[in-house]
Amino acid sequence: MTTTIQASETPVRRRTVPRLARMRDLALVPAIIVLLIVGALIDPVFLTRTNLVNVLQQQSELSLVVLAETLILIGGKFDLSLESIVGLAPALGVALVIPATSHGIGTEWATALAVPLCLLTGLIAGALNGVLILRFGLSAFIVTLGMLITLRGLQIGITGGQSLFDLPPSVAYLGNTAWLGLPVSVWLCAVLFAAGIAVLGWFRHGRALYAIGGNADAARAGGIRTDRVMYAVFMIAGVLAALAGLLMTGRLGSIAAAQGDKMIFMVFAAAVIGGVSMNGGKGTLFGALCGVLVLGLVTNILTLAGVSAQWFQFAYGLIILVALVLARLTTGRAQD
């Protein structure tokens, strides 16, 4: 009798886990709805199409870096250097094609190469992180911290500490063009998140990434080529960060010497709010995207309410702490 009861309980538990996961995945949707209502009450401008599109466009760059970081976090690692790639990749791509009189390097390559060079820079930076962390077994924290400082210094050296304004048409196009009434950056973000959600949910490599983050040794014993998967994730993350830098550059019309600076704090904030575990193997891209939207809406509401930008950091930190407490209460698990 006991065996029968245990056997019957197992399927029930297995069916319950996906349902709970889906519930956690949608946990921020009510919060987003509440923020929309609060914003409408504070200022009627909040719910206008122009304002909401601006929020989506401004958050599209952050969302791509969050997408990159979430993939790495699910695999049980993390990357602090993504914010530097956001600045260096477009700076190097543009500096190689613009004339020296516009603060370029002087190579003056074809302007059509600006975007490919930017993405290639992100790919190389991600690959280098992967080699140092996976091949040499170095600490992800130390490696990516060192890479953050190195890439930031390289960016400042290339730009001479000055902003680059003479942007190639291809870079300006990505940040200013609209398709069907929405900025290109919003469409790119939607497509890439949809692709990421599909890969993680229904493809073997996506399931392998969760397995690696949950227990790398067990995943390796199960026949998963853990290093190969994580190499790919680090390189994809580098490309996504470079693309985010391109979108930011096109939207702002220039590359600041400190572009991307301190962006990594917002990236981790969005991931934590969205339910992504720092321990690996848990979290969803949809939840991370909801975290980005929450931060964007909070920023917009505070701006419309006339709150000084000096208080924004306090609000973000408070949101993170509340999210951590709620996660602890709902999961019942201690957090490292």
Q: Is 178 helix (H, G, I), strand (E, B) or coil?
A: strand
Mean pLDDT of 55-83: 95
Q: What is the mean pLDDT of the chain?
A: 87
pLDDT tens for residues 261-289?
Answer: 989 989 998 998 888 888 888 889 999 99
pLDDT grade, residue 179 (50/70/90)? confident
Integer angstrom CA distances of residue 50 from 45, 274, 296, 322: 9, 26, 15, 30
User: Does 198 have pLDDT greater than 50?
Assistant: yes
Determine contact, residues 35/297, Cβ cutoff 8 Å. Answer: yes
**HSE (CB half, 13 Å, CA atoms) of 138?**
16
Name residues whose C-beta falls within 8 Å of residue 132's C-beta, 6 or more positions apart in sequence. 138, 143, 147
What is the pLDDT, as a whole number, of residue 71? 96
User: Does 7 have pLDDT greater than 50?
Assistant: no
pLDDT grade, residue 331 (50/70/90)? low
Between 1.10.3470, 1.10.3430, 3.40.1000, 3.30.70, what CATH number should domain 27-331 receive? 1.10.3470
User: Does 62 have pLDDT greater than 70?
Assistant: yes
